[in-house]
Structure 1
Amino acid sequence: MNTTQKLLDAGQSVWYDNIQRSLLKNGELTGMIQRGEIRGVTSNPSIFMNAIIKTKDYDLSLIPLVSSNMTPEEIFFALAIEDIQEAADLFLPLYLQSNSGDGYVSLEVNPYLANDTVGTLEQVKQLWKRVNHPNLMVKIPATKAGIPAITEAIAAGINVNVTLIFSLQRYAEVMDAYMKGLEKRVENGLPVDTLASVASFFVSRVDTLIDPRLQEIFLTGGQRAKDAKALQGKAAIANARLAYADFKRTFSSQRFQKLEAKGARVQRPLWASTSTKNPDYRDVLYVEELIGPDTVNTVPPQTLAAFLDHGQVRQSLAEDLAGAHQVLADLETLDISMNTVTRELENQGVKSFSDAFSALIEGIEKRRQAAVSG
């Protein structure tokens, strides 16, 4: 039994945070599914930018598209949808076998729409219609404008992967938006038992932002320096464990029990950004410390390889909740506010995906111009 199957026994599904045409064509993705290593795929603008612009995988498909009258954005979505449909076909047997529990492939809306509720919802519906697979999840960012779009997408019967969640406050809004969407369906006499949603809570970026600030305090010396040293590498896991406690409380509430009686499923927390950025930390830290029932961890290639090689499985998510609360309280005493940090991270996350999307569109436009002039 490989370690990802042990994770499944512990209630956690591993999804692969990567997609590229070569993986689909050379049988690598098929092999990973057959070996039970992964149970879904997530994508984002950065992943597609690296796949389309930095490899030759898409050249044959790009040539006829760039010669057409399509815009670079239309060309991107045409290429991405081909990949997503092919991956969804590969995962369809698992989707059916797991009674639509796993086997999902995620495609994100244009990140430029992060602050546009109407535009987001419009594109969500377009992508759902164009991909036309029951195991698609459309990714909507957990921005202020994204929250109402989540409700309306769920109400329309569309599977949603809510992305870029950093704060406990925003996570509460995400869970509420999901349940509101389910409640709308129930009110309209529509089924809720075939819908699925995950809430992608970003992990390692929290430590990546906070640790350098702790290091600055450490260099000042004194008691604050000792406190700062003790908190290094602790914030991200503490934040995620408190989110999981909120998840358990929310989905055991009377409000959700009414929906569950109609066949509704919980919106599973999905741990994202789980590669270790600090070489001093164990390379599977953000997998091993966040294991528990009804969760997903989406891992990039290097983290998956590391976990298959030497990952350890234990029910770690519910460990030391008091300690998790204490970590956040101790950070506040050092004038590091999680509210401020997570707001900064959300803004950075939207900008990062927008920048990747811009680079992707610029790269496609260059190829289009070369094709037209050539």
Structure 2
Amino acid sequence: MANNVKQIHDFGQSIWLDFIDREIIASGKLKKLIDEDGIRGVTSNPAIFEKAITSSSDYDADIKALGATAKTTEELFFGLAIKDIQAAAQLFEGVYNEGVVGADGYVSLEVSPFLALDAEGTAKQAELLWKQVDRKNVMIKIPGTKPGLKAIRESIAKGININVTLLFGLERYEEVTEAYIAGLEDHLAAGHNIGHISSVASFFLSRIDVVVDPLLEEKGAKELVGEVAIASAKKAYEIYKRVFSTERWKALEAKGAKPQRLLWASTGSKNPAFKDTKYVEALIGPDTVDTVPLETIDAFRDHGIAADTLMLGLDQATETLGRLKALGIDLDKITQDLEDEGIEKFNKPFEKLLKAIEDQKAKA
């Protein structure tokens, strides 16, 4: 019987797993997801590592060993995380080297969320982590905040693979594509090859609907409930198609540059009234990535429908966003608030994680 998750790849979309811990690597479960479901990458974030490190004893021995030399708790954490990222990157080497080398097979590690509004600090840490992980098939995650744009361009200009995270708004997404293209131009101008550089722009979905849907209910526009995030994503894909077909882009492509793919994030349904595979099913299309939590992968394998849906209903998407404006709902403000809140949502688990590591180190 055909595997529903694997079928998505037939439509040109790569499914990455939005989860990492030592157990999934050591048990062979991650290898099984690659072989049977066609999973083509992994993303991590501070909240995922917080859960992994605080809910198991798998890290205790390393906390003790690294604790003897690490100057700060944050340095100790990155020592633990890098070990996991390197192990996962090794598992994905085959995917990375398959067909077009570097088309897929990436594992993402995020800079400290405390640096989200610090361009210089972010760029510096991105370079440090890139060197420490020392794997071709790794991406360093940088939040797409206003200061993050400068760090993204600088990092791409140094030849570092970047996963731009925490994107909610269309205007900011377009600014991210500019940072990527300008970074490639900088790297090329410095006399380097750009064919090895890869990047994704992670557009967050379900969190948009969590905020917008109650406002739609209040205004009696129930037919738009659960539609705004998907409409935004479809409009983002229109921007992607436009930006990566210009003469400016074609000049870079001729030198081996790869487009910065859109990645759909926050794709688990947070509203129990929605189908649990809703966000995955609605946005399947070529040259995109979807990073999916384990439970959503399981759900899609069981009852998901793989079909080429991304380009469907583009006029409707435009109309949906237009109606929001007419209803007096300011999506630009909402997406900026979500970005600010998103930084906080990563800061909190990171603080909790560092505290847990300190407590564990004290016991050692």
TM-score range for the pair, normalised by the shorter chain length: over 0.9
Map 1:35-74 onto structure 2 (within 5 A): 35-68=36-69, 70-74=71-75
Map 1:1-374 onto structure 2 (within 5 A): 1-68=2-69, 70-98=71-99, 99-215=101-217, 217=218, 224-225=219-220, 228-371=221-364
Quick one: distance in 1 between partners of 2:177 and 2:102?
Answer: 20
Q: Secondary structure of 1:145's partner?
A: helix
Q: TM-score, normalised by structure 1?
A: 0.95
> Structure 1, residues 236-273: CA drift from partner, whole Å, max 9, x if none?
10000000011001101111011111110100000000
Q: Does the CA contact (< 8 Å) of 1:273 and 1:299 recur in 2?
A: yes
Quick one: distance in 2 between partners of 1:343 and 1:329?
Answer: 18
Quick one: distance in 2 between partners of 1:151 and 1:173?
Answer: 11
Quick one: distance in 1 between partners of 2:192 and 2:69?
Answer: 41
Quick one: distance in 1 between partners of 2:199 and 2:232?
Answer: 21
Quick one: distance in 2 between partners of 1:187 and 1:67?
Answer: 43
Q: Does the CA contact (< 8 Å) of 2:70 and 2:76 recur in 1?
A: no
Partner amino acid for 2:279?
Y
CA RMSD of aligned residues (A): 1.1
**CA pair 244-353 structure 1, distance change in 2 beyond 3 A:** same
Structure 1, 55-64 or 265-274: larger mean CA deviation: 55-64
Residue segments in structure 1 that go unaligned for 5+ positions in a row: 218-223
Displacement of 1:34 after TM fit? 1.8
Quick one: distance in 2 between partners of 1:14 and 1:337?
Answer: 32
Displacement of 1:60 after TM fit? 2.4
Q: Does the CA contact (< 8 Å) of 1:142 and 1:170 recur in 2?
A: yes
Structure 1, 54-63 or 236-245: larger mean CA deviation: 54-63
Residue segments in structure 2 that go unaligned for 5+ positions in a row: none
Q: Does the CA contact (< 8 Å) of 2:169 and 2:332 recur in 1?
A: yes
> Structure 1, residues 120-167: CA drift from partner, whole Å, max 9, x if none?
000000001000000010000000110011111111010000000000
Aligned residues: 362
Quick one: distance in 1 between partners of 2:27 and 2:68?
Answer: 27
Q: Does the CA contact (< 8 Å) of 1:66 and 1:367 recur in 2?
A: no
1:221 maps to none
Partner amino acid for 2:300?
F
Quick one: distance in 1 between partners of 2:88 and 2:149?
Answer: 28
Q: Does the CA contact (< 8 Å) of 1:67 and 1:368 recur in 2?
A: no
Quick one: distance in 1 between partners of 2:243 and 2:70?
Answer: 49
Q: TM-score, normalised by structure 2?
A: 0.97
Q: Secondary structure of 1:97's partner?
A: coil
Partner amino acid for 1:28?
K
Q: Secondary structure of 2:83's partner?
A: helix
Partner amino acid for 2:16?
W
